[in-house]
């Protein structure tokens, strides 16, 4: 059955309301009937107006909401918005159309249409969730299609060098087949084709795999956690599990997870700059600005919202689906390596050009011979095909020298080691948001850390309570007067952003909110007998001053009888005490707080702080309501208050944090603790964590307060900042000031932060480390790395991984430059003196594969070792190639050049072999030298290169694969690799020559090198 009323207009809406379950049917039908009558009356008035005012011509009509009431008794009994009605809701929320919302009936009418109980949220069972997801969509957006494997193949074949090699290979095949036929003619060119294919495939497979890894980490970083109310209970869920109709709880630092409408809250301010570009925050309320858009950030206050649209139905979803997140940002290390690659490439190109010129001159002047010892070029008598084959071979050899010379493996090695470290760091509870942070962390010289949750467990519990100057713990409820107990209930239960959920089954209540709020709520409910539901029903909150790290307090004004306004403050004990002029005793007697009494309270607070307790004070004030102070509740009274009591909250230090701090200090990284607690609590925790020594003289400025540091002149700050180890009662601005001072002094600064106000310091720091549990979304977005378990020990693990990344890259640079120098010098000398290159194009491509792909995999995946923390930080100014690396690579390169040149010019006479066997010996020895040198590269300073090798199974596997493939190349792919089979004795000679690199490396590491870089020892250019 349906009664349809239609009235068109630009704001018209259509609502389908089907019958509900019996408990809900009556009130819903009543609402529907009332609403329908309102529409009919409006239509009647409009018709009368049109008749009476027909002479006015065209009348501007108003828009109305049209209702479709359908009563049926199906099994589901769901309330369903028609598609037209739901699209209108999406539209007026997205467009912030207040008139459209009013015409619909307001926020409560939208909630009723979406089957949402404003107080208790949606039902939230599987059936309800499935229905809402199917009807309104999921809170995800369509991401651009990820790059496939063939994208990387296509990119690889854009390389000019690869194209030239393929052209040479094609010409070689064409002329080879024309001269020798299909059976024999394709070998030379086909070998180059296969070699290029293998090199490109390995490189593309590595890039494709790392791309997938980065996409996976990106999706993890997008998985924001939010608080929702379902079936009266607060849940912590993924942003992707939000559905239309959900009631979401918002607090400072949260990201708005979907489009919706404001339900209730206080002082809620939203930063919509990511959507609108406006930098000024927007205040949200229920009357003028009830609209909340996905992607915005909460910068102040708290509140609850009703989700009206999710995923692709939001403006944020539409925008994000059109963004191609192609991370082409280069890290600082990659930029330095690009410069190094460019320089080496120019050198290689110059050598290749010289080789090309020398070989062409020698060929056309008749100084080259073929395999049979006959002269190759006889002027006009030489066949065109022979000339072209020779030209193709010469060009291929020259181009292949460029391929070997250009260390394209360096970017691959950086990508591999960064991706590998990111994956491992994720397992170690650290999520990397910016690649550059992986390497920069290895350069860190100072870590500025928070206390709560980072150095401590963030498992807070009230362990001490003072009322007046009397401490009480056992049976607190019976020892306090009812009037004071009621004020304590109000001060705790109303002045909070936390909540209490009492299960109907009678289990222990569940507490939600920040750790501090949960600790105080738990104490008030379990020890003081507070009933939060009754409290909220009996009291009316008038105004809220939300907590911020600047004032370190929060307050509310409320009334119970509309005759008196009560004000409750809660915050840092010494600050609250300063706002009070009197205090209550447990009996309810109010006493004056004179200077003598203030001194006593100061001693109480200092005594609690010395026990590492966080001191929170509660204060109360009241004023009568009259016609002259109607708006007084909008600004809370901040003086003349009465102190209710002081609560001491214990937050124990994390196990292992002291050893982590000691490891940092040993590694040359200084730790500075920045906290909002008072000086005495901060000092006690710092001693417990090992940042300060128990007997340390603190008269030299090791411990300061934020206001003191803030009031220094710039010169004083720069002078004293190095000495400061603990900053207490600090604000986010103080933290930012410290970071700026340290950076100006040339330090590489890492900063931890969890609050919205920490964002400037996190951005300013060289490495921003946000907290995954307590950190706000604003802090996480401003950071480079998210510490998922909020543990300082994880920060130390990140430091180890940062140093490991840097060291792994240096290992690979040393390994690759050794091959580059040896290959270039050998081919150049051989080409100039003998008119032939001992290493062919296919052989050099195989060496290139060993260096770039397999070498990068082997050396870039070493895990951090303890000795990394024995070194001092490298800082920003240290050269990438150190004196130790120059010593190692030059020694190995000179050895390889000497041995291979001896084989080139004297090998045939020494071993009594022909030219083919000699060239095979050179190729085999050269490759085996790289295999043995790969072990040397693992330890740049230590003489024992086998230490910890059993832990890196990938390294052992790659070395094994390399040796097996080398045997196959020499013994079975003779025509492909232009080699001949070697005897057991010849293999032993090759292995023996290559193995000398081990004792050579041991001997070379005994040679001391100066700390000052070699480059700086050169005379300046004038």
CATH code of the domain in which 584 resides = 3.40.1110.10
Assess contact for 89 and 288: CB atoms under 8 A: no
* pLDDT of residue 20 exceeding 70: no
More confident residue, 873 or 54: 873
Quote the pLDDT of residue 15: 40
50: confidence class by pLDDT, cuts 50, 70, 90: very low
Q: Which two tokens stand for residue 504?
A: 């109907």
Find the domain containing 724 and state its range: 430-457+654-795
Assess contact for 862 and 811: CB atoms under 8 A: yes
On whether both 729 and 748 belong to a single domain, the answer is yes
Q: Which two tokens stand for residue 833?
A: 């003196």
* pLDDT of residue 322 exceeding 80: no
* pLDDT of residue 862 exceeding 50: yes
36: confidence class by pLDDT, cuts 50, 70, 90: low
SS3 of 300-319? EEEEEEEEEECHHHCHHHHH
Q: Rounded to an integer, what distance in angstroms lies between the CA atom of residue 420 and that of residue 442?
A: 15
Quote the pLDDT of residue 391: 80
551: confidence class by pLDDT, cuts 50, 70, 90: confident
On whether both 494 and 634 belong to a single domain, the answer is yes
The 10 Å Cβ neighbour count of residue 555 is 25
On whether both 635 and 489 belong to a single domain, the answer is yes
Q: Which long-range contacts (CB under 8 A, 24 or more apart) does 742-748 make?
A: 742/446, 742/448, 744/718, 745/718, 745/721, 746/875, 746/876, 746/877, 747/445, 747/446, 748/440, 748/443, 748/444, 748/445, 748/446, 748/873, 748/875, 748/876
Assess contact for 643 and 576: CB atoms under 8 A: yes
- Per-residue burial over 452-482, b if 16 or more Cβ lie within 10 Å, else e, is bbbbbbbebebebbbbbeeeeeeebeeebee
Quote the pLDDT of residue 178: 66
Q: Express as a percent the part of the chain with pLDDT over 90.
A: 28
The residue out of 618, 633, 650 marking a domain boundary is 650
* pLDDT of residue 788 exceeding 80: yes
On whether both 757 and 681 belong to a single domain, the answer is yes
Q: Rounded to an integer, what distance in angstroms lies between the CA atom of residue 505 and that of residue 540?
A: 29
- Residues 913-937, mean pLDDT to the nearest whole number: 92
Q: Write down the mean pLDDT value for the chain.
A: 80
- Residues 364-390, mean pLDDT to the nearest whole number: 74
The residue out of 731, 765, 795 marking a domain boundary is 795
More confident residue, 194 or 307: 307
In a domain, 185, yes or no: no
On whether both 759 and 642 belong to a single domain, the answer is no
In a domain, 179, yes or no: no
Assess contact for 330 and 439: CB atoms under 8 A: no
Q: pLDDT tens digits for 724-741?
A: 999 998 888 888 999 999
More confident residue, 963 or 149: 963
- Residues 78-105, mean pLDDT to the nearest whole number: 78
- Residues 92-110, mean pLDDT to the nearest whole number: 88
SS3 768: strand
- Residues 362-382, mean pLDDT to the nearest whole number: 73
On whether both 438 and 560 belong to a single domain, the answer is no
Q: pLDDT tens digits for 706-727?
A: 999 999 999 999 999 999 999 9
On whether both 644 and 674 belong to a single domain, the answer is no
Is the pTM higher than 0.85? The answer reads: no
Chain Cα centroid distance, residue 476: 46
Quote the pLDDT of residue 166: 79
In a domain, 547, yes or no: yes
More confident residue, 579 or 203: 579
Quote the pLDDT of residue 275: 66
Most confident of 275-289, 384-398, 598-612: 598-612
- Residues with a known catalytic role: 450
Chain Cα centroid distance, residue 929: 41
Quote the pLDDT of residue 210: 67
On whether both 690 and 582 belong to a single domain, the answer is no
* pLDDT of residue 620 exceeding 60: yes
Residue 533 region by backbone torsions, left for phi larger than 0, else alpha for psi between -120 and 50, else beta: alpha
Q: Rounded to an integer, what distance in angstroms lies between the CA atom of residue 491 and that of residue 621?
A: 11
On whether both 27 and 76 belong to a single domain, the answer is yes
Q: Which long-range contacts (CB under 8 A, 24 or more apart) does 546-550 make?
A: 546/252, 546/266, 546/267, 546/300, 546/301, 546/302, 546/497, 547/497, 547/571, 548/252, 548/300, 548/757, 549/676, 549/731, 549/732, 549/755, 549/757, 550/731, 550/732, 550/733, 550/757
Quote the pLDDT of residue 812: 87
Quote the pLDDT of residue 407: 67
In a domain, 251, yes or no: no
Q: Which residues contact 760 (CB under 8 A, 6 or more apart)?
A: 732, 733, 736, 782
The 10 Å Cβ neighbour count of residue 193 is 18
β-strand partners of 569:
555, 619
On whether both 453 and 467 belong to a single domain, the answer is no
Tell me which of 13-22, 33-42, 808-817, 821-830 is least confident. Answer: 13-22
The residue out of 618, 650, 682 marking a domain boundary is 650
In a domain, 408, yes or no: no
SS3 574: helix
In a domain, 908, yes or no: no
* pLDDT of residue 3 exceeding 50: no
Q: pLDDT tens digits for 575-610?
A: 999 999 999 999 999 999 999 999 999 999 999 998
- Residues 446-459, mean pLDDT to the nearest whole number: 86
Q: pLDDT tens digits for 216-230?
A: 766 666 778 889 999
Quote the pLDDT of residue 948: 85
Most confident of 39-53, 209-223, 912-926: 912-926
Q: Which two tokens stand for residue 540?
A: 């009316």
More confident residue, 333 or 596: 596
Backbone φ, ψ for residue 409 (5° rounding):
-70, -20
Q: Rounded to an integer, what distance in angstroms lies between the CA atom of residue 832 and that of residue 1018?
A: 31
In a domain, 863, yes or no: no
- Residues 61-89, mean pLDDT to the nearest whole number: 49
Q: pLDDT tens digits for 678-694?
A: 888 888 999 999 999 88
DSSP-derived letter for residue 1018 is S
More confident residue, 836 or 577: 577
Domain count, the chain: 3
Quote the pLDDT of residue 222: 72
Angle at 12 between CA 8 and CA 16, to 5 degrees: 110
72: confidence class by pLDDT, cuts 50, 70, 90: very low
Most confident of 47-61, 720-734, 815-829: 720-734
Quote the pLDDT of residue 58: 32
* pLDDT of residue 54 exceeding 50: no
Residue 152 region by backbone torsions, left for phi larger than 0, else alpha for psi between -120 and 50, else beta: alpha
13: confidence class by pLDDT, cuts 50, 70, 90: very low
Chain Cα centroid distance, residue 931: 37
Q: pLDDT tens digits for 421-442?
A: 888 888 888 888 887 788 788 8
Kindly write down the DSSP assignment for every residue of 785-849, as one continuous string: EEETT--HHHHHHHHHHHHHHHHHHHHHHHHHHHHHHHHHHHHHHHHHHHSS-SS-HHHHHHHHH
CATH of the domain at 671: 3.40.50.1000
On whether both 640 and 669 belong to a single domain, the answer is no
* pLDDT of residue 189 exceeding 80: no
Quote the pLDDT of residue 633: 55
* pLDDT of residue 139 exceeding 50: yes
On whether both 646 and 691 belong to a single domain, the answer is no
Angle at 453 between CA 472 and CA 794, to 5 degrees: 150
In a domain, 776, yes or no: yes
Q: Which of 803, 785, 934 is nearest to 866 (CA)?
A: 803
Q: Express as a percent the part of the chain with pLDDT over 70.
A: 81
């Amino acid at each position: 059955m349906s009664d349809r009323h239609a009235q068109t207009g630009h704001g018209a809406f259509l609502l389908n309301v089907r019958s509900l379950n019996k408990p809900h049917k009556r009130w819903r039908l009543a609402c529907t009937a009332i609403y329908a009558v309102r529409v009919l009356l409006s239509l009647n008035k409009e018709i009368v107006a049109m008749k009476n005012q027909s002479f006015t011509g065209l009348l501007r009509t108003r828009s109305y909401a049209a209702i479709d009431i359908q009563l049926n008794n199906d099994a589901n009994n769901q309330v369903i918005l028609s598609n037209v009605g739901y699209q209108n809701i999406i539209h007026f929320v997205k467009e912030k159309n207040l008139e459209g919302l009013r015409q619909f009936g307001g926020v409560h009418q939208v909630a009723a249409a979406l089957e949402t109980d404003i107080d208790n949220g949606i039902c939230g069972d599987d059936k309800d969730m499935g229905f809402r997801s199917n009807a309104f969509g999921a809170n995800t957006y369509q991401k651009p299609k990820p790059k496939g494997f063939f994208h990387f193949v296509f990119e690889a074949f854009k390389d000019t060098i690869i194209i030239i090699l393929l052209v040479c290979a094609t010409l070689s095949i064409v002329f080879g087949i024309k001269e020798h036929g299909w059976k024999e003619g394709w070998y030379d060119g086909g070998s180059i084709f296969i070699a290029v294919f293998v090199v490109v495939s390995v490189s593309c497979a590595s890039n494709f795999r790392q791309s997938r890894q980065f996409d996976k980490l990106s999706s993890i970083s997008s998985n924001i956690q939010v608080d929702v109310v379902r079936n009266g209970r607060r849940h912590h869920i993924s942003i992707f599990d939000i559905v239309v109709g959900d009631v979401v709880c918002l607090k400072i630092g949260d990201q708005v997870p979907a489009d919706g409408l404001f339900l209730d809250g206080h002082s809620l301010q939203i930063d919509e700059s990511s959507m609108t570009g406006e930098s000024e925050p927007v205040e949200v309320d229920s009357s003028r600005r009830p609209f909340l858009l996905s992607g915005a950030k909460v910068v102040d206050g708290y509140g609850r919202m009703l989700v009206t649209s999710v995923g692709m139905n939001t403006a944020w979803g539409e925008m994000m689906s059109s963004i191609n997140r192609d991370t082409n940002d280069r890290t600082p290390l990659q930029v330095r390596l690009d410069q190094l690659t460019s320089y080496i490439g120019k050198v290689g190109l110059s050598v290749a050009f010289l080789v090309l010129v020398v070989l062409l001159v020698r060929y056309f002047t008749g100084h080259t011979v073929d395999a049979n010892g006959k002269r190759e070029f006889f002027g006009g008598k030489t066949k065109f095909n022979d000339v072209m084959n020779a030209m193709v071979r010469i060009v291929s050899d020259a181009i292949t020298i460029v391929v070997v010379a250009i260390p394209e493996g360096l970017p691959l090695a950086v990508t591999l080691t960064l991706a590998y470290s990111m994956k491992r760091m994720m397992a170690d509870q650290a999520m990397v948001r910016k690649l550059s942070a992986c390497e920069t962390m290895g350069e860190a010289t100072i870590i500025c850390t928070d206390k709560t949750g980072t150095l401590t467990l963030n498992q807070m519990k009230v362990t001490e309570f003072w009322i007046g100057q009397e401490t009480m713990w056992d049976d607190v409820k019976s020892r306090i007067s009812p009037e004071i107990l009621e004020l304590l209930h109000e001060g705790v239960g109303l002045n909070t952003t936390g909540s209490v959920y009492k299960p109907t089954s009678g289990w222990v209540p569940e507490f939600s909110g920040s750790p501090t709020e949960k600790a105080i709520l738990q104490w008030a409910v379990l020890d003081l007998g507070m009933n939060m539901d009754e409290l909220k029903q009996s009291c009316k909150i008038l105004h809220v001053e939300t907590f911020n790290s600047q004032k370190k307090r929060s307050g509310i004004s409320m009334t119970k009888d509309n005759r008196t306004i009560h004000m409750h403050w809660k915050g840092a004990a010494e600050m609250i005490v300063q706002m009070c002029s009197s205090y209550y005793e447990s009996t309810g007697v109010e006493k004056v707080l004179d200077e003598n009494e203030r001194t006593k309270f100061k001693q109480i607070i200092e005594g609690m702080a010395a026990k590492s307790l966080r001191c929170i004070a509660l204060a109360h004030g009241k004023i009568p309501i009259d016609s002259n102070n109607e708006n007084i509740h909008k600004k809370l009274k901040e003086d003349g208050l009465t102190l209710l009591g002081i609560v001491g909250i214990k937050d124990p230090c994390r196990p292992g944090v002291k050893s982590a701090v000691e490891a940092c200090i040993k590694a040359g990284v200084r730790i500075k603790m920045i906290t909002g607690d008072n000086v005495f609590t901060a000092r006690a925790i710092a001693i417990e964590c090992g940042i300060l020594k128990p007997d340390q003289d603190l008269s030299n400025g090791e411990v300061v307060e934020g206001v003191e540091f803030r009031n220094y002149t710039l010169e004083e700050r720069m002078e004293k900042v190095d000495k400061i180890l603990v900053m207490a009662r600090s604000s986010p601005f103080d933290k930012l000031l410290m970071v700026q001072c340290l950076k100006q002094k040339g330090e590489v600064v890492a900063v931890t932060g969890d609050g919205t106000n920490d964002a400037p310091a996190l951005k300013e720091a060289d490495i921003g480390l946000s907290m995954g549990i307590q950190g706000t979304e604003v802090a996480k977005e401003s950071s480079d790395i998210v510490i998922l378990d909020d543990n300082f020990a994880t920060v130390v693990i990140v430091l180890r991984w940062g140093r490991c990344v840097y060291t792994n890259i240096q290992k690979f640079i040393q390994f690759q430059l050794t091959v580059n120098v040896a290959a270039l010098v050998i081919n150049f000398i051989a080409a100039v003196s003998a008119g032939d290159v001992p290493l062919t194009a296919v052989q050099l491509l195989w060496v290139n594969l060993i260096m770039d792909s397999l070498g990068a995999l082997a050396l870039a995946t070493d895990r951090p070792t303890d000795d990394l923390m024995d070194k001092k930080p490298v800082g920003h100014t240290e050269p990438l190639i150190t004196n130790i690396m120059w010593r190692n690579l030059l020694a190995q390169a000179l050895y390889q050049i000497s041995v291979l040149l001896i084989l080139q010019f004297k090998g045939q006479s020494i071993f009594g072999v022909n030219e083919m066997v000699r060239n095979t010996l050179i190729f085999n020895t050269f490759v085996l030298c790289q295999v043995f040198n790969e072990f040397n590269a693992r330890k740049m300073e230590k003489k024992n290169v086998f230490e910890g090798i059993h832990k890196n199974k990938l390294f052992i596997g790659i070395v094994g694969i390399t040796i097996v493939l080398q045997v196959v190349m020499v013994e079975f792919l003779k025509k492909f690799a232009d080699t001949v089979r070697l005897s057991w004795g010849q293999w032993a000679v090759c292995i023996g020559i290559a193995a000398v690199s081990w004792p050579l490396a041991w001997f070379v590491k005994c040679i001391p090198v100066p700390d000052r870089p070699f480059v700086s020892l050169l005379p300046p250019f004038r």
